[in-house]
C-alpha cells in the first residue's frame, strides 16, 4: 500500500505565485515578462518589490526583481539549503 503525502507537504505541491501570501521580498522566483508571454520564457530572480495589491491574481502576482525586470510570478522556488 502506497503512503499518501500530506496535502500541505512541500513535495506534494508546487507554489505557483498566484497568491500574494506566497510571494515575499527576497524570495527566489521565476517570472514571465509581458514581452515573453507568448513564448512562455521564464526569467529567474530575487523579488525586490511586490507590485500587485490584490490578494490573488489568476495570471500571477506582478513583481519587480532585483535586476529591474518586471513580470508575473509563475513559480516560487524553494530556499537553497
Domains of the chain and any CATH numbers: 20-76 (2.30.30)
DSSP annotation of 26 reads T
- Here the cell at position 71 is 513580470
More confident residue, 45 or 12: 45
pLDDT at 9: 43
Look up cell 502576482; give the residue.
61
pLDDT at 80: 67
Non-local (6+) Cβ contacts of 57 within 8 A are 18, 20, 72
Task: Evaluate if residue 1 carries a pLDDT over 90.
Answer: no
**pTM greater than 0.85 (yes/no):** no
Q: For 14-50, how does the pLDDT look when each residue is reduced to its tens digit (9 = 90+)?
A: 678 999 999 999 999 999 999 999 999 999 999 999 9
Amino acid at each position: 500500500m502506497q503512503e499518501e503525502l500530506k496535502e500541505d507537504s512541500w513535495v506534494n505541491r508546487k507554489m505557483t505565485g498566484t497568491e500574494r501570501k506566497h510571494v515575499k521580498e527576497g524570495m527566489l522566483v521565476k517570472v514571465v515578462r509581458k514581452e515573453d508571454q507568448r513564448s512562455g520564457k521564464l526569467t529567474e530572480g530575487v523579488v525586490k518589490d511586490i507590485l500587485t495589491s490584490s490578494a490573488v491574481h489568476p495570471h500571477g502576482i506582478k513583481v519587480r526583481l532585483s535586476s529591474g525586470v518586471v513580470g508575473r510570478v509563475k513559480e516560487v522556488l524553494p530556499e537553497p539549503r
